[in-house]
Amino acid sequence: MCGRYTFAGPMDDVAEHFQLADPPKGLAPRYNVAPGQAVAVVALKSDGERFGLAHLKWGLVPDWADSPDRGIRPVNARDDSMGKPMFARLFAAQRCLLPATGFYEWRVTGRRKEPVHFSLTGGGLMAFAGLWSVWTDGTRKVPTVCLITTTPNELVRDYHDRMPVIVPPRDYHRWLSNDTPPKELKAMLRPYPAEGMAARLANPVVNKATVEGPECLAAAQPAPAR
């Protein structure tokens, strides 16, 4: 699974990169985004054409749930589960992008868990494929999100058997558009090419979800394959 990621690129580049209709507010670099937190999400605005950015809680609560505080709240959805009742309607009409600059997985060395940070080669912004939902009881609304995972590429598979679906910028419109055929959407659920990514050992402070500063990536070193 992907349970931690970074969104620490130049915040001034976010609006242009994601072709946002309005400049995003309140964005700050984040080096250790964790489940249960509010995360930046890009999706279609109500006009069905323009892109907007909002903050949703990471941990999907389906709109049919009895409560947003109990029950299953997945942070990830497998690519091969898009036909299941929990995800099928969201996959058809409530897709989104989660802006990021990388994600973490771990390798175990003896008794130590060493975080490994995966990013695009050369760094820069990326986007995870996601699904969003809004739970409401008529008096309050709880917007939530989960990201979609797929089989790992050759780089990630040394550390985990899943990785986030990374949507290339050329496919942002197709992924979010309501006019994209389901067959084309499913074809996007594939591993990002390993040659376009890099892996580096990160600071073990990442193991604490409460640590979110740049020290998470301090003195990062190339990560050897296992």
* Predicted local distance difference test score (pLDDT) of residue 215: 94
Nearest-angstrom CA–CA distance, 52 and 41 = 8
Is-above-0.75 flag for pTM?
yes
Please answer whether residues 133 and 59 qualify as being in contact, where contact means their C-beta atoms are separated by less than 8 angstroms.
no
Which of 2, 96, 146, 216 is flagged as catalytic? 2
Nearest-angstrom CA–CA distance, 196 and 184 = 22
Mean pLDDT computed over every residue of the chain = 92
Which of 105, 146, 212, 216 is flagged as catalytic? 105
Is 105 assigned a catalytic role? yes
- Is the confidence at residue 52, as pLDDT, over 70? yes
> Tokens standing for 187?
């074809």
The pLDDT-based confidence of 10 (bands split at 50, 70, 90) is confident
